[in-house]
Structure 1
Amino acid sequence: MEDRTKNSSPEIKKLGELISDIKIAMLVTVSGGNSLHSAPLVTQEVQPDGSLWFIISRASQKASDIQNENRVNITYSGSGKYVSVTGFAELVDNQPEKVRELWSKAYETWFPQGPNDPNVQLLKVEIEKAEYWEGHSNPVAKILEFVKLTTGSKHVKMGSHGELNLRH
């Protein structure tokens, strides 16, 4: 994933840092009948404005759901970090240069005709807010904090939690 947040606000930089090494995200959409649907996908890019870019299939349930309801949630989990992003999804057409910019050979499994495959669909998510939890990544620190917790120590810090407001 490309992180272009270096010249962004502190909130957007923090989001970029949190998700930069997490390969797979789970996109939650609202399906017909107001039920929730989750599907894995790969974040291709974090823009300086905090928007996220993905490549999906035009024929997917994700695309169909977003046409009817564009509020989405995206969750990330990895390396002791957990991030929940809420925002508004947009299906983006007529940007073949953006498809080529985000394209990787791995997508040919789903899109055999390459970036010009008619089923390729760009998905852009404008982030409203993000919530995150960071734990210790060092296993020894995790064990020490757990021991403190089990022995009744009042000074236990298992990690940090925060919220990022990206749309003011």
Structure 2
Amino acid sequence: MSTENLYNQEGIAKIREIIDKIDIGMLGSYPANSAFLHAVPMSRQEVDDAGNIWYLFSSDSESFFHIRENSQVSLLYSDPSSYTFLSINGSAEISSDRQRIEKYWNKMMEGWFDAGIDDPRIRVLKVAPEEAQYWDTKSNKLVTLWKAAVSAVTGVEMDKGRSGEITI
């Protein structure tokens, strides 16, 4: 596996590419009285031009209460079918930004908020990445598996993919 660290706009583009492809990732928050991460699946609304990841979520959720006490969060995206993975650690901000709620509102949200777009529990979550790592392949899964098999049989290391740190 080759190392390809990415910076600034190239890093933001990689984050956006992976998150847009996978969509649902795990949002990890840190409960005050636990040594363990609390993780829930979340569908992103947007990765903006600065690399921030935006979500809508509920003020009734455990994540909401954890983030109010500790703004550090982790995001984990995984697509084993294509060997694509992304890990992000960053800081979160919670708001009730009406413009963003209207921008991100869609039919899927109706399943989470019974009172619709005017539900007083709707909150906007912005995650600003502070560090990120990715792993993906340079080719499709079949070619990657073939390269792994050839490496195992011959002992010659073949480039099966790439990984790296992302710095924004």
* Normalised TM-score (structure 1): 0.88
Partner of 2:23: 23
Instruction: Measure the CA separation in 2 of the matches of 1:52 and 1:29.
Output: 15
Tell me, yes or no, if the aligned pair for 1:80 and 1:137 is still in contact at 8 Å.
no
1:158 alignment partner in structure 2: 160
1:39 maps to which residue?
40
Question: Which consecutive aligned stretches of 4+ in structure 1 deviate over 6 angstroms post-superposition?
Answer: none
1:84-140 CA-to-partner distances (Å, cap 9, x unmatched) read 0110011112x2121010111111111021111011111001111210000355233
> Cα–Cα, structure 1 residues 146 and 56, in superposed 2: closer, same or farther, change >3 Å?
same
AA matched with 1:118: P
Aligned to 2:75: 74
Q: Distance in 1 between matches of 2:139 and 2:102?
A: 35
Alignment of 1:82-161 (within 5 A): 82-93=85-96, 95-135=97-137, 138-161=140-163
Asked which structure has the greater RCO (Cα within 8 Å, sep 6+), the reply is: 2
Q: Is the 8 A contact 1:55 1:122 kept in 2?
A: yes
> Percent of pairs identical after alignment?
30
Matched residue type, 1:10:
E
Preserved contact between residue 110 and residue 116 of structure 2 (Cα < 8 Å): yes
Task: Work out the CA distance in 2 between the residues paired with 1:146 and 1:109.
Answer: 43
Q: In the alignment, is the contact (CA less than 8 A) between 2:132 and 2:166 conserved in 1? A: yes
Distance, in Å, in 2 between the alignment partners of 1:43 and 1:153 is 41
The residue matched to 2:159 in structure 1 has which SS?
Answer: coil
Single out whichever of 11-20 and 50-59 deviates more from structure 2: 11-20
Contact 2:144 2:161 in 1 (8 A): no
Structure 2: stretches of 5+ with no match in the other structure: 1-7
